[in-house]
Amino acid sequence: MKNRFLLLTWLLVMLVVAAQCGGGAAPQATEAPPVATEAPAATEEAMATEEAAPEPELAKELYVFNWADYIDEELLTMYEEETGVKIIYDTYDSNEDLLAKLQAGATGYDVIFPSDYMVDQMIDLGLLAELDLNNIPNFQYLADFNKNPAYDPDHKYSVPYFWGSTGIGYEASVVDPPPDSWAWIFDPEIVCQYQDGGVNVLDDERELIGAALRYLGYSLNDTDEAHLNEARDVIMAAKPCWKTFDSAGYIDNLMIPGEVVLTHAWNGDVFVAAEENENWTYVMPEEGGVVWQDNMCVPASSTRKATAEHFINWMMDPEHAAQNTNYVWYPSPVEAAKEFIDPEILEDPAIYVDDETISRLEWIEELPGDGLSIWDRVWTEIKAQ
């Protein structure tokens, strides 16, 4: 009897222990092999105010595919040192370049940076993974202006990385008077005066044809075939006076004396060149240009989504986001980063674009299928001749 009582007691104790240890443990992320992690400071901060998401097990490597000249690479080293995750970093030249790679079946990428309209297009094509914003607590620091964009209203697939505008960059000691219109790029009588100094245009279908459409008084998103043919003809007339179609290496060329004096440009890139040569100036033409937002997304094919989300969150830490802006001169969508951003950047209305300028700008939107094929035909004609 006493033995039976002891056996029963022992069985009870074992049952209680089993209930406490087994079955209740959270499932581990499948991304093997795990590496040691340390919670970044801002994540800890966010955790203090909100329900903390468990730290994910991180993959050994992360493949990051970004626009050229679009990150302070020291941040990549910092992330590697803090987490032990090795970053394999590569760059592309345009949204269409990125799309072509993904459509060709490239599966290695974990974090990509498509612009607004391309996020829309990639969502429709099923190329993006849904994000879990619980894993991106620094999302709370986003500015209202950058939140809930039309191309992904609930941020199911994207979080903003940088935003900016597209206009004209010029070397003020050579280009005189200062440009105030797209005529400085498209009117042969004006642009050919700078042919010897060197003129560059962005090698970017939506940007270049879009700028020609604005010059003609049309929308950037026009799909009228006659208007697009007009834009092509404007481009073809100016093209002999352009030296390069370059969106990737052009910052370096702006810094080399005698290479380029006038360029179609993304705002931040001109300010980076101005660090080398203070005569570089950026202006928005009177006809208006583009306002855009680039985003951090995870391709549907990524096998390291938890690590990708961890990296995205880390990049959105206010101090990291500010360090990035201080390096690339693009405005950060992270509102809380502002206290760490150089006042020279923060107070420049050509970088943190003011409301009056924004009212003259247009977002590039995803084109309907038949419109896109007209654009592609026009682009092929422009590049072929």
Nearer to ligand SPD, 206 or 305 (CB): 206
- Residue 246 touches ligand SPD, criterion: CB under 6 A: no
- Minimum distance between the CB of residue 142 and ligand SPD, rounded to whole angstroms? 18
> What distance in Å separates the CA atoms of residue 361 and residue 98, rounded to the nearest whole number?
25
Pair 264, 199: CB distance under 8 Å:
no
> What distance in Å separates the CA atoms of residue 94 and residue 314, rounded to the nearest whole number?
25
Nearer to ligand SPD, 187 or 276 (CB): 276
Pair 109, 63: CB distance under 8 Å:
yes
Q: Which two tokens stand for residue 319?
A: 């101090």
In this structure, what are the phi and psi dihedrals at residue 346, rounded to the nearest 5 degrees? Answer: -60, -35
Nearer to ligand SPD, 137 or 164 (CB): 164
- Residue 70 touches ligand SPD, criterion: CB under 6 A: yes
Nearer to ligand SPD, 58 or 265 (CB): 265
Pair 279, 212: CB distance under 8 Å:
no
Report the candidate in 208, 174, 191, 373 with the shortest Cα–Cα distance to residue 277: 174
Residue nearest to ligand SPD (CB): 67
Pick the binder of ligand SPD from 207, 246, 309, 317 (CB under 6 A): 207
- Residue 292 touches ligand SPD, criterion: CB under 6 A: yes
Nearer to ligand SPD, 70 or 109 (CB): 70
Residues numbered 96 to 135 that lie near ligand SPD (CB under 6 A) are: 115
Q: Which amino acid is at 383?
A: K
* Residues 6 or more apart whose Cβ sits within 8 Å of residue 209: 228, 231, 232, 235, 375, 378, 379, 382
Considering only the stretches 67-75, 220-228, 277-285, 347-355, report the one whose residues sit in contact with ligand SPD under the rule CB under 6 A: 67-75
Nearer to ligand SPD, 292 or 375 (CB): 292
> What distance in Å separates the CA atoms of residue 243 and residue 250, rounded to the nearest whole number?
11
Report the C-alpha dihedral over residues 348, 164, 254, 219, rounded to 10 degrees: -120
- Residue 379 touches ligand SPD, criterion: CB under 6 A: no
> What distance in Å separates the CA atoms of residue 284 and residue 267, rounded to the nearest whole number?
9
- Minimum distance between the CB of residue 138 and ligand SPD, rounded to whole angstroms? 21
Pick the binder of ligand SPD from 205, 222, 269, 317 (CB under 6 A): 269
Considering only the stretches 64-72, 148-156, 307-315, 319-327, report the one whose residues sit in contact with ligand SPD under the rule CB under 6 A: 64-72
Pick the binder of ligand SPD from 63, 67, 141, 161 (CB under 6 A): 67
Q: Which two tokens stand for residue 77?
A: 């080293």
- Minimum distance between the CB of residue 92 and ligand SPD, rounded to whole angstroms? 10
Cβ neighbours around 13 below 10 Å, total: 10
Nearer to ligand SPD, 269 or 317 (CB): 269
- Residue 282 touches ligand SPD, criterion: CB under 6 A: no
Q: Both ends of the chain: CA-CA distance in Å?
A: 100
* H or E segment to which residue 168 belongs: strand 159-171
> What distance in Å separates the CA atoms of residue 54 and residue 211, rounded to the nearest whole number?
47
Nearer to ligand SPD, 82 or 259 (CB): 259
Pair 234, 215: CB distance under 8 Å:
yes
- Minimum distance between the CB of residue 220 and ligand SPD, rounded to whole angstroms? 10
- Minimum distance between the CB of residue 271 and ligand SPD, rounded to whole angstroms? 11
- Residue 203 touches ligand SPD, criterion: CB under 6 A: no
- Residue 68 touches ligand SPD, criterion: CB under 6 A: yes
Q: Which two tokens stand for residue 180?
A: 């105030």
- Residue 263 touches ligand SPD, criterion: CB under 6 A: no
Pick the binder of ligand SPD from 69, 120, 171, 222 (CB under 6 A): 69
- Residue 266 touches ligand SPD, criterion: CB under 6 A: yes
**Binding positions for ligand SPD, rule: CB under 6 A:** 67-70, 115, 207, 266, 269, 292, 294, 364
